[in-house]
Amino acid sequence: MVSSERVWTGVLASGLLTVAFLTLGPVLHPAPRVPTVTRVDLPPPRQAQAAAPEYPTTASVQPLISGRVNLNSASLEQLEALPKVGPSLAARIVAGRPYRSLADLDRVKGVGPSTLAALAPLVTF
**CA separation for the pair 81, 104 (Å, rounded):** 20
Task: Check if the beta carbon of residue 66 is closer than 8 Å to that of residue 53.
Answer: yes
User: 69-124 maps to which CATH number?
Assistant: 1.10.150.320
pLDDT at 9: 60
Average confidence score pLDDT of the chain? 76
**How does pLDDT run across 5-64, given as a tens digit for each residue?**
665 565 555 555 555 555 555 556 666 778 888 888 877 766 555 666 676 666 766 666
pTM over 0.85: no
Task: Check if the beta carbon of residue 87 is closer than 8 Å to that of residue 76.
Answer: yes
**How does pLDDT run across 69-100, given as a tens digit for each residue?**
899 998 888 888 888 888 999 999 999 999 99
The domains of the chain are located at 1-30, 69-124
**CA separation for the pair 20, 115 (Å, rounded):** 71
